Structure formats: C-alpha cells, structure tokens
Amino acid sequence: MKRSKDIARLLEIMAALRTPGTGCPWDLEQDFASIAPYTIEEAYEVADAITRGDRLDLKDELGDLLLQVVFHAQMAEEEGAFAFPDVVEAITAKLIRRHPHVFGDARDLSPAEVKVLWHRIKAQEKSQKAAEREAAGLPEQQEEKGVLAGVPHGLPALTRAWKLQARASTVGFDWNDARLVLDKIREETAEIDEALVSGDKAAVAEEIGDLLFVVANLARHVDADPEGCLQAANAKFERRFKGIERILEEQGKVAADTDLAELEALWQRVKRGEKSGA
C-alpha cells in the first residue's frame, strides 16, 4: 500500500477498515462510546510527548489523535449524520467567525475587547445552533443553568474540581486565604481517620474524595494546575522507584524479594542523591 501525505488517503483507509465483509472485525464492532476512551487517551499521549519535548513522538501521537477524528467522522457518515468534510467546514467557519479582528473588519482591538467580542459571538452561535436544531426537528438541548453550568463532565476529575471551584469563586463562594484551605485539608484528613476507625469503606472513599476536592482547591489558590501537580508527582515517584530497581539490579536483587525496610532505605538514598545532584 502506497503511503501518502494526503488526508484523502487516510479517509479511504478508514472507510476500508469499516467496510462490512472485507474490513477489520475489531474496527467494525466499534461505536462512538467504545472509541471515546481511546480519543481521550490519544489526547493525553499528545500532551505527554509535548511535556517530554519529543517532537518525533509528537508527530506520531498527533497522527493517532487525527485517526480518532477520522474514525468518529466515518461512523457518523455511515449513520448519515455528517462526514469528515463537514467537520473541517465547521471548524473553519468557527475560526473565521470568532476572529473578526483577524479575518473581518474589527481591527486594532485590545485583548480585553477581543475577549468581550469572543463571548458575544459565542452567544450568537448558541442561538443559531438552537434554531438549526429546531429547523432539523431535533429535540431542544436541555441547558444547564446556574453558576456551574457548562463545566464539561468529561474532564479529568481534578481539573473539573478546579474549574467548578473557580466558577463558585466568581460569586464569592471561596476562601480568601490559601492557609484556610490548608486548615480544611487537615479537617478532611481527620474525617478520613474517623472513617478508617469505623471500618466503613464507603465512608472512607467519600472522605478521600472530599480531601482530593479540597487539595484541588489549594492548588487553584496558588495558581497551580492540580492535574499537572499530580503528573509531576507521578513522574517523581516513577523516577525514584526506578532508581531503587537499578541499585537492586547492581546487587543482583529484585524489588519483589526485598523487604520493606530495605526498600525504604533505598528510597531515601535515591532521594538524597537527587537533592545532592549525584
């Protein structure tokens, strides 16, 4: 099969994979819901390649993410809902529509004026979309109302917690000092302790959720991304644990056969080595 840089070839390949009788059995059994987790995963892998500064890997991961768009568009075309060109047309029109200061007559705007214009255009788009749904005989979308409306449910939990709390803060429902949030964290850990004593696993899980929610709020108060903080902590743990494994390998040992006390001692050794730059 000849390789091509043309998007048309990618669309042809995706259509072939979804052709009954001659296509791929796995691809054929997929639907929007089953593919959605892969779409999210590919977006994270793009972000990971960016974090690592690996441009070669980024190219591959962007291709994987593009495949997800093509996959969803192909399934939509099979349903007669829309096709890939419609997706391209929609985002092209949206970009032009939302940037009249670039593509239209609204020139020389300040960043604040651009933001005001952006929200005005989004409101117009919302009304237009409602009219289009009505004209197509589609049911009216149930609109969320209130301060917290519009925070996507599909966001990572820590990020969504951050955004929910940020929204609530716009009406004054917030602590005005990060140290007060820290006091709340201490309160939540005490409640976890009580739940552990009771032996109620459901209560423990609920209290852990409360703790994570408040920790996300503390991150917001110090202008830190909680998801990024946890990713950094994951990377640090992974780096240090691999350091333990390297030491054990030099000694002809493996982690599974090493007691906790020795593992902890090695952890502290790796940690000290990082701090000293060794």
Spatial separation of the C-alpha atoms in residues 164 and 239, rounded to whole Å: 32
Alpha helices by DSSP H, listed for the chain, are 7-17, 25-28, 32-52, 55-79, 84-98, 100-103, 111-135, 157-169, 178-198, 201-221, 226-250, 260-276
Q: 219 and 182 in one domain?
A: yes
Residue at 151 is within a domain: no
Q: 250 and 214 in one domain?
A: no
- Separation of first and last alpha carbons in the chain: 51
Phi-psi region of 40 (alpha: psi -120 to 50; beta: other; left: phi over 0): alpha
Q: 129 and 57 in one domain?
A: no
Residue at 117 is within a domain: yes
Q: 55 and 19 in one domain?
A: yes
Angle at 189 between CA 188 and CA 195, to 5 degrees: 90
Q: 85 and 104 in one domain?
A: no
Residue 224's nearest CA partner among 134, 161, 140, 139 is 161
Q: 173 and 126 in one domain?
A: no
Spatial separation of the C-alpha atoms in residues 164 and 174, rounded to whole Å: 11
Residue at 148 is within a domain: no
Of 78, 109, 138, the last residue of a domain is 138
- What φ, ψ does residue 117 adopt, rounded to 5°? -65, -40
Residue at 149 is within a domain: no
Q: 6 and 87 in one domain?
A: yes
Q: 68 and 3 in one domain?
A: yes
Which ranges of the chain have pLDDT less than 70? 1-5, 141-143, 278
Residue at 147 is within a domain: no
User: In this predicted structure, what is the pLDDT of residue 1?
Assistant: 47
Q: 190 and 260 in one domain?
A: no
CB 184 within 8 A of CB 190: no
Two tokens at 137? 């005989």
Residue at 152 is within a domain: no
What CATH number has the domain bearing residue 30? 1.10.287.1080
Instruction: Name all contacts of 175-180 with Cβ < 8 Å and 24+ positions apart.
Output: 175/217, 175/221, 177/221, 178/218, 178/221, 178/222
User: In this predicted structure, what is the pLDDT of residue 223?
Assistant: 94
CB 227 within 8 A of CB 156: yes
Task: Report the number of distinct structural domains present in the chain.
Answer: 4
Q: 212 and 243 in one domain?
A: no
Q: Which domain holds residue 104?
A: 99-138
Spatial separation of the C-alpha atoms in residues 194 and 159, rounded to whole Å: 28
Q: 132 and 71 in one domain?
A: no
Residue 194's nearest CA partner among 185, 206, 204 is 204
User: In this predicted structure, what is the pLDDT of residue 163?
Assistant: 94
Q: 178 and 108 in one domain?
A: no
Phi-psi region of 91 (alpha: psi -120 to 50; beta: other; left: phi over 0): alpha
Residue at 143 is within a domain: no
pLDDT digits (tens, 9 = 90+) for 154-211: 888 999 999 999 999 999 999 999 999 999 999 999 999 999 999 999 999 999 999 9
